[in-house]
Amino acid sequence: MLVIVAPGQGAQSPGFLTPWLESPEFRARFEWLSTVASLDLIHYGTDADAETIRRTEIAQPLLVATGLVAALGIFPHPTDAFGKVSAVAGHSVGELTAAAGARVITAEQAMVLVRERGKAMAEAAAVTETGMTAVLGGDPDEVLATIEKHGLTAANNNAPGQVVAAGTLAQLQALADEPPAKARLTPLSVAGAFHTVHMEPAVGHLANLARSVSVHDPRTRFVSNKDGQVVHDGRDVLRRIVGQIAHPVRWDLCLDTFADLGVTGLLEMPPAGTLTGIAKRALRGVETFALKSPDQLDEARAFCDKHGEFTEIDTTPTWRMVVSPAKGTFHVDPQAADADVLSSGSPIGEVASLRDRIVVTAAHGGQVVEWLVEDGDLVSPGQPLIRLHPEGGAA
């Protein structure tokens, strides 16, 4: 089972785009995405220095564009991907790359959104002097308690032993003066406290733009940074991506979902290395592939062939499926069980786990074709629960 992931801000380095531009085809694609983003991505990916590409409004479009172009290198015919890729996910801004890869939004929509996201987050970061510090090691509960004690936010909970604290510079200094036991602190070279309340102004700006963006339901499982849930409603995917700007990234929960899915192979899009490094420590037995340059594309395709399998999610226009967002026990809603037609947004049941109970709704509604599970069944993330025929036309 194959999952493809896209890295977030901080993965870029000076000149990392250079080998990709040796191909006229790849260069042409970068020129097109540069035009869409109103940024000279080729310059920033080749000649610009580390300080320049650290800027939020530059780093984010550069990363998303690179992931999109590399994806076409692996899957020249995107529809081929949907028969092999079991799930996609992105870390922070990488969620836009993943959403485009899952066909929730187009590449052009992703570039416009990431351009505006980067600008809005840079403006929000300029209001107050804030920053981020990686907290490595230590007792996980003590680390989180200490971060909260100092008024900070665990903005990135990447895996056990790898948490990023974010807040004002004064709060970060207090953390440095009184760190958790047996933990190592590393200040990060970022422009502000991303994924905290300090980013709320950016959420509002992007939310206004997102209202005009047309979306489609994912063609493969989309694993959300918000809570590690599998999301199969395109509108919900976009809402979550927008809201995530000011809320913590729970990559640890995404890793849990990968394990629940039974993932055997994880491929990281360029500039790769960060997420595969985390996966090697957190997902024992899962083979990883860090795609860093185009001369690895043949190996990447072979890796996808090795781990790819037929995905259960289909988008045949004559019906829709509602899928489970997480691992747990499914309990059918009594009213849904007796219904022939479900209205948009009506609940079909709950998925109960040791952690919580998640209500599952029929986002689009429709006529019940068949139930694919029974009350009390154990379900896995992304497992189809019910098949619906759209009311009033094709999906």
CB distance 322 to 369 below 8 Å:
no
- Whether 293 sits among the annotated catalytic residues: the reply is no
Q: Are strands 85-90 and 2-6 parallel, antiparallel or unpaired?
A: parallel
357-362 sheet: strands from edge to edge: 357-362, 346-352, 328-332, 378-379
From the list 92, 205, 307, 324, the catalytic residue is 92
Q: Cα–Cα distance between 360 and 89 in angstroms, integer?
A: 21
**183-187 and 2-6: which strand pairing?**
unpaired
Residue 198 appears among annotated catalytic residues:
no
- Candidate list 91, 150, 195, 307, residue with the active-site label: 195
CB 64 within 8 A of CB 97: yes
Can you tell me the distance from the alpha carbon of 81 to that of 3, in angstroms, rounded to the nearest whole number? 11
Cα 255 → chain centroid: 11
Query: What is the spatial distance between Cα 268 and Cα 341, in angstroms, rounded to a whole number?
Result: 41
For the annotated catalytic residues, the residue numbers are 92, 195
